[in-house]
A and B are shown apart, each in its own frame.
Chain A
Amino acid sequence: MIHVDALSAQVPAFCDVLRREHGFTIGQAEAHDSLRALDALGVTDRARVRAALRLVCCGKRSDVEAFDEAFERFFTQSPAGTAQSSYAPRHTRPGREDAPEAREEAAAVPDRPQPRDEDPAEGDGGRSAERRPTDEEREDTPPSLAALRARYSPLSARNEPPAIDRSRDAAMSVAAGRLIAAVRLGRSRRWKTISHGGRFDLRRTVRASLQTGGEAVTLHYRGHPLRNPRFALLIDGSRSVVEHTNAIVAFSRALVARSLRANAFFFSTELRDVTRELRDVAREPHTPDAGAPFGDLGAAWGGGTKIGASLAAFVDGHGARVLSPDTVVIVFSDGLDVGDAHVLVRAMREIERRSAGIVWLNPHAASPGFSPTARGMRAALPYITILTSANDARAFEHLAELIGRHPRIRGRA
Chain B
Amino acid sequence: MIAERIRARFAERHFVAGDDLSTALELALALEKPLLIEGPAGVGKTECAKVLADVLETRLIRLQCYEGLDASSALYEWNYPKQLLRLRLTETSGDSPAAREAQIFSEEFLLRRPLLEAIDQEHAPVLLIDEIDRADEAFEAFLLELLGEFQVTIPEIGTVRARSRPAVILTSNRTRELSDAMRRRCLYLWLDYPSRDEEIAILRARLPDIDARLARRIADFMVFLRDQPLRKVPGVAESLDWALALVRLHRDVLDERTLEETRGCILKVQEDWALLRTQSARYAPLLENGAAAAAPVESDYGIGSVRARRG
Compute how far the CA of A41 lies from the CA of B25 in the bound complex, rounded to whole angstroms.
11
- The prevalent SS among residues of A at the interface is helix
The answer, yes or no, to whether A146 is at the interface (CB within 8 Å) is no
The minimal Cβ–Cβ distance linking A87 to chain B, given in whole angstroms, is 23
Q: Give Cα A330–Cα B38 distance, bound, in whole angstroms.
A: 29
| Total contacts A-B at CB 8 Å | 103
- Give the residues in chain A near B178, CB-CB below 8 Å: 60
Closest-by-CB residue of B relative to A346 is B229
Interface size class of B (residues with CB under 8 A): 35 or more
Chain B residues near A51 (CB, 8 Å)?
19-20, 23-24
Pick from B33, B77, B87: contact of A33, CB under 8 Å: B33
Cα distance, A36 to B91, chains bound together (Å): 57
Whole-angstrom CA separation of A9 from B88 in the bound complex: 66
Contacting pair B31 A48 (CB below 8 A): no
Q: Scan residues 170-192 of chain B and give those whose CB is less than 8 A from a CB of chain A.
A: 173-178, 180, 183-184, 187-190
A52 touches B190 (CB 8 A): no
The answer, among B27, B80, B174, B190, for a CB contact under 8 Å with A203, is B80
Q: Which residues of B contact A58 (CB under 8 A)?
A: 188, 190
Chain B nearest CB: distance from A182 CB in Å?
A: 23
Contact B188 A59 (CB under 8 A): yes
Given contacts A25-B180, A61-B38, A190 and B68 within 8 Å (CB-CB): yes
Interface residue? B252 (CB, 8 A): no
Q: Is the CB of A189 within 8 A of B68?
A: yes
Given contacts A33-B33, A40-B30, A51-B23, contact A214 B183 (CB under 8 A): no
User: Which residues of chain A are within 8 angstroms of B83 by Cβ–Cβ distance?
Assistant: 206
In Å, the complex CA distance between A188 and B68 comes to: 8
CA distance A40 to B33 in the complex (A): 13
Is A55 an interface residue when CB atoms closer than 8 A count as contact? yes
Chain A residues with CB under 8 A of B91: 213-214
Among the listed A41, A60, A202, A214, which residue makes an inter-chain contact with B23, where contact means beta carbons less than 8 Å apart?
A41
A216 CB contacts on chain B under 8 angstroms:
84
Q: Mark B1-23, 1 if CB is under 8 A from A, else 0.
A: 10100000000000000011001
Most buried by B among A51, A64, A213: A51
Specify the chain B residue showing the minimal Cβ separation from A260: B137
Q: Is the CB of B27 within 8 A of A321?
A: no
CA–CA, A37 and B33, complex, Å = 11
Q: For A59, give its contact among B24, B35, B180 (CB under 8 Å).
A: B180
B30 touches A41 (CB 8 A): yes
Instruction: Give the residues in chain B near A145, CB-CB below 8 Å.
Output: none
Query: Which residue of chain A has its CB nearest to the CB of B89?
Result: A214
A47 at interface (Cβ–Cβ under 8 A)? Answer: yes
Chain A: which residue is nearest B176 at the CB level?
A321
Tell me whether B117 is interfacial, beta carbon within 8 Å.
no
Q: Which residue of A lies closest to B173 (CB)?
A: A320
Given A40-B31, A209-B84, A52 and B23 touching (CB < 8 A)?
A: yes
Pick the contact of A48 from B3, B104, B188 — CB < 8 Å? B3
Is B101 part of the contact surface with A, judged by Cβ < 8 Å? Answer: yes
Which B residues from 55 to 99 make CB contacts under 8 A with A?
67-68, 70, 72, 77-78, 80, 83-84, 87-88, 91, 97
B77 to chain A, nearest CB (A): 8
Task: Give the interface residue-count category, chain A.
Answer: 35 or more
Is B87 a contact partner of A210 (Cβ separation < 8 A)? yes
Give which listed residue, A25, A48, A52, A191, contacts B184 with CB less than 8 A.
Answer: A25
Q: Does A56 contact B (CB under 8 A)?
A: yes
Q: Which residue of A lies closest to B186 (CB)?
A: A59
Please name the residue on chain A nearest to B174 by beta carbon. A320
A52 CA to B84 CA, complexed, in Å: 53
A320–B177 Cα gap in the complex (Å)? 8
Interfacial residues of chain A within 11-47, with CB under 8 A of chain B in the complex: 25-26, 29-30, 33, 36-37, 40-42, 47
User: Are A37 and B31 also in contact (CB < 8 A) when A55-B23, A61-B190, A210-B97 are?
Assistant: yes
Which of these, A40, A190, A205, contacts B136 with CB under 8 Å? A190
Which residues of chain A come closer than 8 Å to B87, judged between CB atoms? 206, 209-210, 213-214
B241 within 8 A of A: no
Measured CA separation A37–B25 after assembly (Å): 12
Would you call A321 and B174 a contact (CB within 8 A)? yes
B26 located at the interface, meaning its Cβ lies under 8 Å from any Cβ of chain A in the complex:
yes
Given contacts A188-B68, A214-B91, A321-B177, A55 and B184 within 8 Å (CB-CB): no
B31 vs chain A, min Cβ distance (A): 6
**Contact A64 B100, beta carbon cutoff 8 Å:** no
CB-CB under 8 A from A54, the residues of chain B are: 188
> How distant is the Cα of A37 from the Cα of B1 in the complex, in angstroms?
14
Q: Are B183 and A37 in contact (CB under 8 A)?
A: no
| Inter-chain contact B70/A52, CB cutoff 8 Å | no
Contacts of B23 in A (CB 8 A): 41, 48, 51-52, 55
Report the nearest B residue to A42, measured CB to CB.
Answer: B1
**In chain A, what residue has the closest Cβ to B136?**
A190
Tell me the complex Cα distance, A57–B174, Å.
19
Cβ contact within 8 Å between B100 and A210: yes
8 nearest CB pairs, A to B: A214-B87, A40-B30, A59-B183, A202-B80, A190-B68, A189-B68, A55-B187, A321-B177
Task: Using CB atoms and an 8 Å cutoff, list the residues of chain A in contact with chain B.
Answer: 25-26, 29-30, 33, 36-37, 40-42, 47-48, 51-52, 54-56, 58-61, 63-64, 188-191, 202-203, 205-206, 209-210, 213-214, 216, 320-321, 324
Residue contacts A-B, CB under 8 angstroms, 9 given: A41-B3, A55-B27, A56-B27, A60-B38, A61-B38, A191-B68, A202-B80, A206-B78, A320-B174
**Knowing that A58-B190, A210-B87 are A-B contacts, what are 15 other residue pairs whose CB atoms are under 8 Å apart, sorted by A's residue number?**
A25-B180, A48-B19, A51-B20, A55-B188, A56-B187, A59-B180, A190-B70, A190-B136, A203-B72, A206-B80, A206-B87, A206-B104, A214-B87, A320-B176, A321-B177
